[in-house]
A and B are shown apart, each in its own frame.
Chain A
Amino acid sequence: MPLTLERRVAPSKLMMFASPVIAIILTLIAGAIILLFLGKDPANGLYVFFVEPLTQAWSLEEILVKTIPLALIAAGLTICFTANVWNIGAEGQFILGAIAGATIPVLLPDLQGPHTLPLMMMLGFMGGMFFALIPALFKVRFGANEILTSLMLVYVAELILDYFVRGPWRDPAGLNFPKTIDFNEWASMPIIGADRLNIGLYIAIAVAFILLFFMGRTFQGFGIKLAGQAPKAAKFAGFSRDKTVYLVLALSGGLAGLAGIIEVAGPINQLRPAISPGYGFTAIIVAFLGRLNPVGALIAAFILSITYIGAENAQIFLKITNKITSVFQGILLFFVLACDTLIYYRLRLKARMNEVRS
């Protein structure tokens, strides 16, 4: 093998910051190649995709609208992944949070007042939390792999939502469309932008900094880091593995649920069969691009939401299907992971001195 890895004595501080940047640059190069394959001018394509969304007020606002759910979900996931617990069912927890929070405007539409929204957000958080505690329970009690169980629950969550909006919760005045009634004014997120940007942005920013403090300055946060890096050392320091699993899944599920209710009480304003373009999965990429740091994830969420708006632009101006978004996202995660290796290892080009004979 001509490429070999050589462990660094200490993790490279430079690479910690450079790796996401290098990954983004490599993704842009790969993106240009793909555009070339699709018969488009790569320079123009990349401009439409990644720069143009930043040049207009309305699209900037839309980017921020999408940043909210991505940042909230990813903030929780950074904690989860740091503990080496692989919650990949955030999409499902997002949906369950939306459903739980929506019980108030849908079932109790007369419950209106300043307490309505906080109550909905609390329910949303709890909905996502309990849904995430299912894989936690299965992992702790039965040793079932949380990757598979949390993912399977995404499909279940989508079907639960589908059942509600087509069945008991369908808007009787909705011409048989599968949707609930619109949320009343007290049950909608207050707008802070020109059009659709709501206070969820402040919540996402606050959550990111609270979690940064939690992870960096509290013993419990330290224990979560330990649990991920050296599980036996975590136990030696007095942290129970089971409690850590419950804690990180509850937290990340809760935040995904919160994102869910903010999304349906915000831009969507009702429940529909599809309320997310895969935020729960994109947030996984956000978490890694943000170097598993809650504030890093906030920045990464902004970058990733550019790709959503960019894809809409590309669809209109370049006649490219918006499927290209998930291609770019997949490639980005791929490169982020590759570059992260360089934090701990040096890559050496090396011809093997001898051939292996056997």
Chain B
Amino acid sequence: MLTVRGITKTFGTLVANDAVNLTIGTGEIHALLGENGAGKSTLVKMLYGALAPNSGEINWQDSPVQITSPAYARKLGIGMVFQHFSLFDALNVAENVALALPKDQSLKEVSRNLSKISREYGLPLDPTAQIADLSVGERQRVEIVRCLLADPKLIIMDEPTSVLTPQEAETLFVTLEKLRDEGRSILYISHKLDEVRALCDTATILRHGKVVAHCDPRETSKAELARLMVGTSVADVKTSTKQQTEAETVLAAKNLSLPTDSQFGTALHNISFSLKAGTIGAIAGIAGNGQNELFSALTGEASLGEASSLEIFGKPSGQTDVNQRRKMGLAFVAEERLGHGAAPNMSMSENVLLTRATISEELRSIFGLKRSSADKIREEICDDFDVRRGSKNPPAGSLSGGNLQKFVIGRELGSKPKIIVINQPTWGVDAGAARHIRQTLIDSAEAGMAVLIISQDLDEIFEVADEIAVLHEGSLSPFVQAATVTRESLGLLMGGEGFEQSNTGVQHATHA
């Protein structure tokens, strides 16, 4: 169906794809595996005509082609489902679909075809619904239907399950297998090894822009795939061996509610939990179920109606601001690293000031901010957390995702907090850095820190958490011991089962 030979793409001095070869057969699900930054997205963008390669050739159905634009790719029969959906919030479903189709269809026709396809593949959709009102899962359906309407022979899917519950993912796999049985090919991009081994027929593995292996994922062990992806074998995170003792509760929410201030936000309803010193609590859930709102309620960026709805060390603190909370011993790591947790155009030292200036005495003097101290702290963080950078004090925006996250977490841990709240600790971070970060969190908890992570990554949660709760449409399930839950039961909760109307009432955190 598609063969790629020696394709190379460089951005400045960075070689994103280095002489990549790839062959996708007819009617196969082909996995493209690799870490973040391995060059998967670059390769896929070239196959879809959104980027032009520097050299190399692409053969489509045995004839050489130059895929010059996404429209041309679609014309050839290549469709794409994006990871960060390329949908238009202000437009409705039919309009979104029409934008990716050839010119000669009226909106009416589009709506009709759309309904037909969505019935056929079990992907229910309302053509007149506004995208802004849809859930993440529904948005993905729009993407898939939009892609299918063009009757593609090859479908490129970029990390499609990263936004789905395990059950939703299962449903997706059924659809994908149906598509394969119709003779379509699928290029399936992922770093989740279990699902690749369950679903895919062949696999190509990328590392640092180069192909390191072609293999049959069903015949290759998970450990071997991981080794190929990462290069070295990543040691497992050493989990804590400590015994649960009666530690003090340091952070507690009591019927915490927060109305949303934006059209696209999620309101929080009666959230209750408590977190003890020395434990790692994890809040699972699909994106867009109130994670950001919960985070801003915990940081104080959103002020709560009642002071008593959040207790820090037993003190009602719902109306304290973010710096007051920091002074009480809290630290926060935001999901959006650039723009929220760090200012992209400011230097690393200035980003040290961002959260530390109010709490670290050494950064202030009667002559104003002490930048030399900020430089010193920056060097300490970079040494302790092995942060790689292009120059001594570059803008935060120039760091890679993993290095920036190590820097940000190092900055927060550097203030020796007693409680740390982290939204998406290792999202978009390479395996080495992710392992380092997870190990640091476990070690910190061992040393008595209370850690609360908000994450959409179940692997991460199972690796580090002592207790797990699920956030769904702004409500939180009770925390339960990590050892006592399964992926399946969490998946059901993430899909909203078990969140009855009565459940939005008082929920007490329970510790089994």
Given contact pairs A10-B394, A353-B52, A233 touches B368 in the complex (Cβ within 8 A): no
Annotate A216-229 by CB proximity to B: 1 below 8 A, 0 otherwise: 11110010011001
- Inter-chain CA distance A217–B363, complex, in Å, is 11
Task: Tell me the smallest distance from the CB of A258 to a CB of chain B, in Å.
Answer: 24
Q: Does A355 contact B (CB under 8 A)?
A: yes
Pick from B343, B367, B391, B394: contact of A226, CB below 8 A: B343
- Nearest CB to that of B67 among chain A residues? A354
Which of A69-77, A235-243, A307-315 lies at the binding interface?
Answer: A235-243
Interface centre among B323, B336, B343, B368 (most CB of A within 10 A): B343
B339-361 interface with A by 8 A CB criterion:
339-346, 350, 353-355, 357-358
Question: In the complex, are the beta carbons of B332 and A236 less than 8 A apart?
Answer: yes
Q: Does B306 contact A (CB under 8 A)?
A: no
Task: Tell me the smallest distance from the CB of B74 to a CB of chain A, in Å.
Answer: 10
- Nearest CB to that of B371 among chain A residues? A217
- Nearest CB to that of A354 among chain B residues? B68
- Inter-chain CA distance A222–B299, complex, in Å, is 20
Q: Does B301 contact A (CB under 8 A)?
A: yes
Task: Tell me the smallest distance from the CB of B107 to a CB of chain A, in Å.
Answer: 19
Pick from B340, B346, B350, B353: contact of A236, CB below 8 A: B340
Given contact pairs A217-B367, A237-B355, A357-B69, A6 touches B322 in the complex (Cβ within 8 A): no
- Nearest CB to that of A6 among chain B residues? B12
Task: Tell me the smallest distance from the CB of B153 to a CB of chain A, in Å.
Answer: 19
Residues in B with CB closer than 8 Å to A357 are 68-69, 71-72
Task: Tell me the smallest distance from the CB of A121 to a CB of chain B, in Å.
Answer: 26
Given contact pairs A236-B354, A354-B68, A229 touches B321 in the complex (Cβ within 8 A): no
- Inter-chain CA distance A216–B367, complex, in Å, is 11
- Inter-chain CA distance A353–B357, complex, in Å, is 49
Question: In the complex, are the beta carbons of A358 and B340 less than 8 A apart?
Answer: no
Question: In the complex, are the beta carbons of B344 and A9 less than 8 A apart?
Answer: no
Given contact pairs A11-B345, A11-B395, A237 touches B369 in the complex (Cβ within 8 A): no
Residues in B with CB closer than 8 Å to A229 are 343-346
Question: In the complex, are the beta carbons of A230 and B344 less than 8 A apart?
Answer: yes
Given contact pairs A236-B332, A236-B334, A219 touches B354 in the complex (Cβ within 8 A): no
Annotate B287-330 by CB proximity to A: 1 below 8 A, 0 otherwise: 00000000000010100000000000000000001110000000
Residues in A with CB closer than 8 Å to B336 are 232
Task: Tell me the smallest distance from the CB of B132 to a CB of chain A, in Å.
Answer: 19
Residues in B with CB closer than 8 Å to A226 are 343, 346, 354
Q: Does B398 contact A (CB under 8 A)?
A: yes
- Inter-chain CA distance A230–B321, complex, in Å, is 19
Given contact pairs A218-B369, A238-B321, A356 touches B339 in the complex (Cβ within 8 A): no
Question: In the complex, are the beta carbons of B345 and A236 less than 8 A apart?
Answer: no
Question: In the complex, are the beta carbons of A233 and B342 less than 8 A apart?
Answer: yes
Pick from A9, A216, A225, A354: contact of B66, CB below 8 A: A354
Q: Does A163 contact B (CB under 8 A)?
A: no
- Nearest CB to that of A226 among chain B residues? B343
Question: In the complex, are the beta carbons of A358 and B69 less than 8 A apart?
Answer: yes
B368-391 interface with A by 8 A CB criterion:
368-369, 390-391
Residues in B with CB closer than 8 Å to A219 are 353, 357-358, 364, 369
B contacts with A: majority SS:
loop
- Nearest CB to that of A346 among chain B residues? B12
Question: In the complex, are the beta carbons of A232 and B339 less than 8 A apart?
Answer: yes
Question: In the complex, are the beta carbons of B357 and A236 less than 8 A apart?
Answer: no
Question: In the complex, are the beta carbons of B72 and A358 less than 8 A apart?
Answer: yes
Question: In the complex, are the beta carbons of A354 and B342 less than 8 A apart?
Answer: no
Question: In the complex, are the beta carbons of B340 and A232 less than 8 A apart?
Answer: yes
- Nearest CB to that of B368 among chain A residues? A217
Q: Does A17 contact B (CB under 8 A)?
A: no
Question: In the complex, are the beta carbons of B343 and A10 less than 8 A apart?
Answer: no
Annotate A185-226 by CB proximity to B: 1 below 8 A, 0 otherwise: 000000000000000000000000000010011110010011
Given contact pairs A11-B345, A356-B68, A357-B72, A236 touches B301 in the complex (Cβ within 8 A): yes
Interface centre among A216, A230, A353 (most CB of B within 10 A): A230
Task: Tell me the smallest distance from the CB of B269 to a CB of chain A, in Å.
Answer: 24
- Nearest CB to that of A356 among chain B residues? B69
Task: Tell me the smallest distance from the CB of B420 to a CB of chain A, in Å.
Answer: 14
A1-42 interface with B by 8 A CB criterion:
6, 9-11
Residues in B with CB closer than 8 Å to A11 are 345, 395
Given contact pairs A230-B340, A233-B354, A236-B299, A354 touches B368 in the complex (Cβ within 8 A): no
- Nearest CB to that of A234 among chain B residues? B343
Question: In the complex, are the beta carbons of B368 and A230 less than 8 A apart?
Answer: no
Residues in B with CB closer than 8 Å to A10 are 390-391, 394-395, 398
- Inter-chain CA distance A87–B415, complex, in Å, is 38
Question: In the complex, are the beta carbons of B301 and A235 less than 8 A apart?
Answer: yes
Residues in A with CB closer than 8 Å to B345 are 11, 229-230
- Nearest CB to that of B367 among chain A residues? A217
Question: In the complex, are the beta carbons of B369 and A222 less than 8 A apart?
Answer: yes
Residues in B with CB closer than 8 Å to A6 are 12
Annotate B175-187 by CB proximity to A: 1 below 8 A, 0 otherwise: 0000000000000
Question: In the complex, are the beta carbons of B350 and A222 less than 8 A apart?
Answer: yes
Task: Tell me the smallest distance from the CB of B209 to a CB of chain A, in Å.
Answer: 18
- Nearest CB to that of B334 among chain A residues? A236
- Inter-chain CA distance A237–B394, complex, in Å, is 20
Question: In the complex, are the beta carbons of B358 and A233 less than 8 A apart?
Answer: no
- Inter-chain CA distance A225–B343, complex, in Å, is 10
Given contact pairs A9-B390, A219-B369, A236-B299, A355 touches B340 in the complex (Cβ within 8 A): no
Given contact pairs A9-B394, A219-B369, A236-B332, enumerate 15 new A-B contacts (beta carbons under 8 Å): A9-B12, A9-B390, A10-B390, A217-B367, A218-B369, A219-B358, A233-B341, A235-B301, A236-B355, A237-B355, A237-B357, A238-B323, A354-B69, A357-B68, A357-B71
CB<8 Å pairs between A and B, sample of 9 = A9-B12, A219-B353, A226-B354, A230-B339, A230-B343, A232-B340, A236-B354, A355-B68, A357-B71
Interface set of B (CB-CB < 8 Å, partner A): 12, 52, 66, 68-69, 71-72, 299, 301, 321-323, 332, 334, 336, 338-346, 350, 353-355, 357-358, 364, 367-369, 390-391, 394-395, 398
Closest 5 CB pairs of A and B: A217-B368, A354-B68, A238-B323, A358-B71, A230-B343
